[in-house]
Amino acid sequence: MKLLRFLFGKKTNAHTSTLSDMKYLIAGLGNFGIDYANSRHNIGFDVVEKLAADKNAVFTSGRYADKAEFKFKGKTFILIKPTTYMNLSGKALKFWIEKENIPLENVVVVTDDLNLPLGKLRIRKNGNDGGHNGLKNINEVLQSNEYKRLRFGVGNNFQVGKQVDFVLGKWDKTEAPIVANNVTRAAEAVTSIIMEGIERAMNLYN
């Protein structure tokens, strides 16, 4: 109920509202732990790590997520890497949305997408989960899909029944340079969403 009141009618004064409008939550989805590092399913982590590195921001351990924060041209970027594992990503988003008093329209989720070619970016204002368990859990916990998302294509070069092995697998030598270049583009795309607006970002990066 607390989250619902916040999303659909929590009373705030003008000063609080203005401050909230300048804060943005960027959640990179993935699985926590060294075993999952540099895997296809963790591309969301890679993108927010790139954002943080570019601004010399450092991740520290927080509740349900590692968190980094920086300010850029009057806006506050709050980056999280949920430590709940992919299928419970909504728990981390709900906590940080409430803790930082961030409107849902100021939330950007970065995730992998099997339905897009390797390195292809797709920005959307909202939408369904597309079969992605992380997005599915977020939609269920927030009871809304009205948040922005950036999907990063990882391709679908796997045999029938091998999807889990594929998404949890590491990038091969031919994929790694493509991924590195497009992680940079994805970080730029997130910045564009926040600084220029989603319509402009979609025109530039989709």
Rounded to whole angstroms, the Cα distance separating 92 from 150 reads: 18
Q: Check if the beta carbon of residue 81 is closer than 8 Å to that of residue 45.
A: yes
Known catalytic residue at 132: no
Of 24, 25, 26, 41, the catalytic one is: 41
Rounded to whole angstroms, the Cα distance separating 103 from 88 reads: 21
Residues with catalytic annotation? 41
